[in-house]
Amino acid sequence: MSQQITIIGGGLAGSEAALQLAQRGYEVELWEMRPGVRTEAHQSDDFAELVCSNSLKSIRLDTGAGLLKAEMRILGSILLDIAEKCKVPAGHALAVDRELFAKAVTASLETHPNIRIIRKEACELPPGKVILATGPLTSDPMMRHLREILGEDQLFFFDAIAPIIDADSIDSEIVYAKARYDKGEADYLNCAFDRDQYYTFVDALMTAEKHEAREFENEFFRSDKFSFYENCMPIEELARRGRDTLRHGVMRPMGLELPSTGKKAFAVLQLRAENNDFSAYNLVGCQTMLRYPEQKRVFRLIPGLANASFLRFGSIHRNSYLNSPKVLNPDLSLKNRHDVWVAGQLSGVEGYAECIAHGMLIARIIAGEIESLPPETILGQIWRRLLTDPPKSTFSPVNANFGILPGLDENVRDKKLKREMLSKRALDKLLECHQDPLEQ
């Protein structure tokens, strides 16, 4: 007898998972609440709608996004295949005609004999095997239900992300490791400012161009919900409260000196390691709504970061996601419902390609085809990240970048070469262990 599964949410992760499992003979019931109930961002009634940019980012193997797509190709992603058929010219990026893409995915789902589509909002998890793929804009009744079964503090409602930079791009002549007050272990790297450097930085922050929030985002940022979360206040908004606010707050220089004079610094911005290999660092307190080019310009004014290479830019937007390291089993099912898997952005992966890849991974875990992935792969590390409490901070969404990969055994100075070597290592490892059962 064929196996049955309910998939809730016909976005990127849910659509990929539905097609993967249907292709393996599962009887799939796919729930999608649109058009009856809408999200703030989706415009159409189609499945797999890209809500903002039409780009699935780079395909170059010297980028994390490019490596992820190469891994997805080996693992047999169906939506990636459709995206490639709907692509539009965009240099090294895989950009698609969004309408064509969503319509092609919708047609594949609607015509598949093993998929039954139910256009209805799911307000609770049904019994039996379920993939929950309701995304960053999961509807309120489902959020309430999740809060009941997982606990209030295991759900986040928005995402305030500080930029992450490549460790190799930090100037080690200027930046140094030391704990504030010189107490405890030197876990943080310090970027020390003198008076002029600090005010130049603060003035640049206040005058830089912001990302224009869309209407629903504006509503969100004006709401009480947002103003409660002081820790997520954009750094440029804090700077606007007064030119000295930052140096009395997140940039206080207590016990930290200027390397050039040995005297107390005027302000210090700290960098926190993103992984145990110390290959990527987070700019502490720098969650921001500045436009990406402005982030590059302004954050490169920080002493020691003049050549910073950005692995992920800062952002703030409405985003529901689970505290996955606390609530997920190693196979990405829920600890208190072993027959429910959470796929896509709701689980704390971030980005179109990442959500598709995650939907594919969950489907293949459920089908019993994948138990683990090599740690050298981007997808293997995304999986690991979802299960690992980050050192000294709360869990935040993870995307494909080289900072999450373990380093190479050898020291390679040329950055492009190093990235290509990381990609080659990942793909070799994946090919070694992977066989697509559908191709045998």
Helix (H), strand (E), coil (C) string for the chain: CCCEEEEECCCHHHHHHHHHHHHCCCEEEEECCCCCCCCCCCCCCCCCCCCCCCEEEECCCCCHHHHHHHHHHHHCCHHHHHHHHCEECCCCEEEECHHHHHHHHHHHHHHCCCEEEECCCCCCCCCCCEEECCCCCCCHHHHHHHHHHHCHHHEEEEEEECCEEEHHHCCCCCCEECCHHHCCCCCEEEEEECHHHHHHHHHHHHHCCECCCCHHHHHHHHCHHHHCCHHHCCHHHHHHCCCCHHHHCCCCCCCCECCCCCCECCEEEEEEECCCCCCEEEECCCCCCECHHHHHHHHCCCCCCCCCCEEECCEEEEEEEECHHHHECCCCEECCEEEEEECHHHHCECCHHHHHHHHHHHHHHHCCCCCCCCCCCHHHHHHHHHHCCCCCCCCCCECCCHHHCCCCCCCCCCHHHHHHHHHHHHHHHHHHHCCCHHHC
| SS3 (DSSP) at 416 | helix
User: Least CB distance from residue 179 to ligand FAD, whole Å?
Assistant: 35
User: Least CB distance from residue 396 to ligand FAD, whole Å?
Assistant: 13
Looking at the Cβ atoms of 126 and 437, the one nearer to ligand FAD is 126
286 phi, psi to nearest 5 deg: -100, 30
User: Least CB distance from residue 138 to ligand FAD, whole Å?
Assistant: 5
User: Least CB distance from residue 52 to ligand FAD, whole Å?
Assistant: 3
Looking at the Cβ atoms of 72 and 355, the one nearer to ligand FAD is 355
Looking at the Cβ atoms of 34 and 178, the one nearer to ligand FAD is 34
Residue nearest to ligand FAD (CB): 11
User: Least CB distance from residue 352 to ligand FAD, whole Å?
Assistant: 4
Among 416, 438, 393, CA closest to 63: 416
User: Least CB distance from residue 412 to ligand FAD, whole Å?
Assistant: 29
Looking at the Cβ atoms of 217 and 274, the one nearer to ligand FAD is 217
Nearest-angstrom CA–CA distance, 105 and 143: 26
User: Least CB distance from residue 47 to ligand FAD, whole Å?
Assistant: 7
User: Least CB distance from residue 146 to ligand FAD, whole Å?
Assistant: 10
User: Least CB distance from residue 329 to ligand FAD, whole Å?
Assistant: 19
51 phi, psi to nearest 5 deg: -80, -15
Looking at the Cβ atoms of 128 and 375, the one nearer to ligand FAD is 128
User: Least CB distance from residue 318 to ligand FAD, whole Å?
Assistant: 6
Residues of this chain that bind ligand FAD (CB under 6 A): 8-14, 31-34, 39, 41-42, 51-53, 121-122, 133-139, 142, 317, 319, 344-346, 350-352, 355
Burial class (CB in 10 A: 0-12, 13-18, 19+), 368: exposed
Looking at the Cβ atoms of 42 and 247, the one nearer to ligand FAD is 42
Looking at the Cβ atoms of 19 and 137, the one nearer to ligand FAD is 137
User: Least CB distance from residue 400 to ligand FAD, whole Å?
Assistant: 10
User: Least CB distance from residue 11 to ligand FAD, whole Å?
Assistant: 2
| SS3 (DSSP) at 336 | coil
Looking at the Cβ atoms of 191 and 322, the one nearer to ligand FAD is 322
Looking at the Cβ atoms of 125 and 273, the one nearer to ligand FAD is 125
Looking at the Cβ atoms of 272 and 358, the one nearer to ligand FAD is 358
Nearest-angstrom CA–CA distance, 83 and 60: 16
Looking at the Cβ atoms of 202 and 353, the one nearer to ligand FAD is 353
Residue with tokens 């947002």: 226
Helices (H) and strands (E) in the chain, counts: 15, 17
Looking at the Cβ atoms of 121 and 203, the one nearer to ligand FAD is 121
